[in-house]
Copies of this chain bind each other. A is one copy, B any other.
């Protein structure tokens, strides 16, 4: 399951992406328009900032803006940052690998093999989907 945290992060990036190279936005505004608990959102935006996605400015009139081009931010990046592994099995995760402790022989595990395929398929879709795509898609769907 996608965590709320990740979902909120994506929504916030969409909101910021819509104003890319235009205005900056403050946390309260995003929290209200996207129905995200403000304090929780603070943490999330902070992480995104520390990871280099966002620029922030303190003080009156301050706020957040997107540093990277929305076309350059895909969902794999966001998910790994806020939600951890993409893979459904730790022994198949590229960035958060962990051996299964009850596993006899990793190399002959059929479950592992199958979930590698699932991981690859998921990774393909999510890495090909950018914040810019989501913005465009939502505009299109809203028609």
Interface of A is mostly: helix
Are A35 and B102 touching (Cβ within 8 A)? yes
The residues in A between 10 and 45 inclusive whose CB is less than 8 angstroms from any CB of B are 10-11, 14, 34-36
Copies in the complex: 2
Q: Is A51 positioned at the interface, with any CB of B under 8 Å from its CB?
A: no
- Other-chain residue from B7, B75, B121, B142 in contact with A122 (beta carbon distance below 8 A): B121
By a CB distance below 8 angstroms, the chain B residues around A11 are: 111
| Contacts known (A1-B88, A85-B1, A89-B2); A110 close to B137, Cβ less than 8 A | yes
A102 CB → nearest B CB, Å: 4
Whole-angstrom distance between the alpha carbons of A121 and B1 in the complex?
15
Give chain A interface residues in 88-125, CB to chain B under 8 Å.
Answer: 88-90, 100-102, 104-105, 107-111, 113-115, 117-118, 121-122, 124-125
* Residues of chain A having any CB pair with chain B under 8 Å: 1-2, 7, 10-11, 14, 34-36, 75, 85, 88-90, 100-102, 104-105, 107-111, 113-115, 117-118, 121-122, 124-126, 129, 133-135, 137-138, 141-142
4 nearest A-B pairs in the assembled complex, by CB-CB distance: A110-B134, A35-B102, A108-B141, A110-B137
